[in-house]
Amino acid sequence: MKRSSLNKGRTEARELQTPTSGIFFKVRKVLYDRTSAFQRIEIIENGEYGRVLFLDGLVQTTEKDEFYYHEMLVHPAMASHPAPRKVLIIGGGDGGALREVLKHPVERAWMVEIDGRVIEACREHFDWLEPALSDGRAELFVGDGNVFIRETKEKFDVILVDSSDPVGPSTVLHEEGFYRKLRTRLRPGGIIAAQAGSLVLHQDQHAAKIRFLRRMFEHPRFYLGPVPTYPVGMWCYSFLSDAVDPTAKKVLRIPEGLMYYNPEVHRAAFALPNFLKSKLG
Size of the site for ligand SAM (CB under 6 A): 25
112 binds ligand SAM (CB under 6 A): yes
Binding segment toward ligand SAM, per CB under 6 A, in 4-12, 89-97, 99-107, 200-208: 89-97
∠140-96-270 over CA atoms, to 5°? 120
- CB 256: neighbour CB atoms within 10 A? 5
- CB 37: neighbour CB atoms within 10 A? 10
Beta carbons of 170 and 163 less than 8 angstroms apart: yes
Interacting residue with ligand SAM among 5, 80, 195, 238 (CB under 6 A): 195
Footprint (CB under 6 A) of ligand SAM, residues 155-184 = 162-165, 169-170, 172-173
Beta carbons of 241 and 191 less than 8 angstroms apart: yes
Distances (CA, A) of 4 to 1, 32, 33, 224: 9, 12, 9, 29
Strand pairing class (108-113; 138-142): parallel
56 is catalytic: no
Catalytic position from the list 144, 162, 165, 245: 162
Interacting residue with ligand SAM among 57, 93, 225, 231 (CB under 6 A): 93
203-216 helix and 176-184 helix, angle to the nearest 10 degrees: 40
15 binds ligand SAM (CB under 6 A): no
60 binds ligand SAM (CB under 6 A): yes
57 binds ligand SAM (CB under 6 A): no
Q: How far is the CB of 111 from ligand SAM (least distance, A)?
A: 9
Strand pairing class (21-26; 12-18): antiparallel
114 binds ligand SAM (CB under 6 A): yes
Binding site for ligand SAM (CB under 6 A): 55, 60, 69, 90-94, 112-115, 118, 144-146, 162-165, 169-170, 172-173, 195
